[in-house]
Amino acid sequence: MPASPPGPVRLAVAVVALGVVAGLASGRGSGPSSRAFAGDAPPAAPGPSDPAPRTDPPAPVDRPPTSRDGEARWLDESGTALLGFGMLRVAPTLDGPSGQVVFRYEEAPTDYAMFDAVQLLVMPADAFARDGRAFADRALAWGRSARGTYAVSVTVKVTAPAVWLVAFGPFTGVDTSRPLGAARTYALDVREERGMSRAWVDPLAGELTVKAWTSHPEVERGGPVKDPFDGRDRWFEVRPELVYAASRLAAPGDPEPPQVAAARREADSLRQRAADLRGKGRPDAAADLEREADDVRATLAYLDERVPVPAPLAERLRRLPFRWR
């Protein structure tokens, strides 16, 4: 039988055993104790035979093969441009077929211009009312010329009184204005067909930024338009960049223009007279006044010669450091 250890050694062993039991009782026995005791050996460093933690490589992502054509479409900026725009008021004739307007835009290229094609865009005046921007699917019409040519035409149907934004300029790049002189540099012709009326509210009201988007489904914005040349879908975003006259802007809470307020009062008066006639047992006469009131109300958007935008955007556009008028 082996001899018992000396008394001091037995005391040290007892103290160590007591510490281990206390650690287990307090829930700290599952890991190394933070307490050190006299006579304890330092913890052993992991040896070369200890296995290193295993880290599995991430699973490969299934991506379609990348081609040069695909990379070019990701970076395609064709169609990104700064366009000038005017405001046109249109209305169909009463009780007649829907009319249409034909727009034709042509540039006479000079050394002053730095683009090789043009585009023409028609949008409703309220296209920016909700978000301060609009996408391609809000366009009433869009067209572009082939590279190396400078004329484009679009046709828009007129089904109700409205104000349109007619934007024109380079297909890609900025409109660098025109050189001094009397020579014709561009023309925007408007021709009405089949029973409708039209008049320019402001032929040069401001400038719009058109930003081309890639057609990749992960980043497409809004709906597309069809390119008249290659038949491909084109996505783009349009934002107002400059409005030359602050009075052309309409923000929520702004008072109505006088002509709109007068038309609204007239429509309300007709409605009130129609209600009085119905109360007197004259429904046919009341119906005639109600139809007349509806016709007047339909002209409210037609009479408002402003571009509706959100309040923050209107504030920014109204405090430009320069103003033409």
89 and 237 together in one domain: yes
Checking DSSP bridges between strand 134-135 and strand 186-193, what pairing results, if any? unpaired
In a domain, 32, yes or no: no
134 and 283 together in one domain: no
Q: Which pLDDT tens digit goes with each residue over 79-92?
A: 889 899 999 999 88
Non-local (6+) Cβ contacts of 248 within 8 A are: 87, 202, 205, 206, 305, 306, 307
Q: For residues 222 and 136, is the Cβ–Cβ distance under 8 A?
A: yes
What percent of the chain lies above the pLDDT cut of 70? 66
Q: Name the pLDDT band for 1 (thresholds 50, 70, 90).
A: very low
Q: Name the pLDDT band for 192 (thresholds 50, 70, 90).
A: confident
Select the highest-mean-pLDDT range: 76-80, 108-112, 170-174, 263-267.
Answer: 263-267
The rounded distance, in Å, linking the Cα atoms of 83 and 206 is 9
Last residue of a domain, one of 249, 267, 283: 249
pLDDT at 252 over 80: yes
Mean pLDDT for 236-260 is: 93
Mean pLDDT for 146-160 is: 91
Into how many domains does the chain fold?
A: 2
202 and 89 together in one domain: yes
What percent of the chain lies above the pLDDT cut of 90? 45
Non-local (6+) Cβ contacts of 33 within 8 A are: 19, 20, 23
Mean pLDDT for 128-143 is: 94
Q: Name the pLDDT band for 309 (thresholds 50, 70, 90).
A: very high
In a domain, 323, yes or no: no
139 — phi, psi (to 5°)?
-70, 135
What is the enclosing helix (H) or strand (E) of 196? strand 196-213
In a domain, 51, yes or no: no
124 and 229 together in one domain: yes
In a domain, 84, yes or no: yes
192 — phi, psi (to 5°)?
-95, 150
134 and 222 together in one domain: yes
243 and 286 together in one domain: no
Last residue of a domain, one of 249, 277, 294: 249
Checking DSSP bridges between strand 307-308 and strand 249-250, what pairing results, if any? parallel
DSSP line for 251-286: -TTPPPPHHHHHHHHHHHHHHHHHHHHHHTT-HHHH
pLDDT at 96 over 90: no
145 and 195 together in one domain: yes
pLDDT at 30 over 60: no
In a domain, 161, yes or no: yes
pLDDT at 217 over 80: no
pLDDT at 14 over 70: no
172 and 271 together in one domain: no
pLDDT at 17 over 60: no
Report the pLDDT value the prediction gives residue 88, as an integer from 0 to 100: 96
- For residue 187, what are its two tokens? 């023309």
Contacts of 216-220 with CB under 8 Å at 24 or more apart are: 216/73, 216/74
143 and 207 together in one domain: yes
- For residue 318, what are its two tokens? 């109204």
Report the pLDDT value the prediction gives residue 159, as an integer from 0 to 100: 87
Last residue of a domain, one of 224, 249, 274: 249
153 and 275 together in one domain: no
164 and 276 together in one domain: no
Domain of residue 219: give its range: 72-249
7-21, 56-70, 285-299: the lowest-pLDDT one: 7-21
Choose between 231 and 214: higher pLDDT: 231
In a domain, 218, yes or no: yes
Mean pLDDT for 167-181 is: 75
Choose between 279 and 5: higher pLDDT: 279
Choose between 266 and 45: higher pLDDT: 266
In a domain, 64, yes or no: no
- For residue 119, what are its two tokens? 């585009």
Mean pLDDT for 192-218 is: 83
Non-local (6+) Cβ contacts of 19 within 8 A are: 33, 35, 37
What is the enclosing helix (H) or strand (E) of 134? strand 134-135
Report the pLDDT value the prediction gives residue 87, as an integer from 0 to 100: 97
Report the pLDDT value the prediction gives residue 57, as an integer from 0 to 100: 59
pLDDT at 181 over 80: no
For residue 248, how many C-alpha atoms fall within 13 Å in the half-sphere facing its CB? 24
211 and 285 together in one domain: no
In a domain, 315, yes or no: no
- CATH number of the domain within which 185 lies: 2.60.120.380
Mean pLDDT for 203-227 is: 81
Report the pLDDT value the prediction gives residue 34, as an integer from 0 to 100: 44
pLDDT at 20 over 90: no
The rounded distance, in Å, linking the Cα atoms of 132 and 267 is 30
pLDDT at 171 over 60: yes
Q: What is the mean pLDDT of the chain?
A: 78
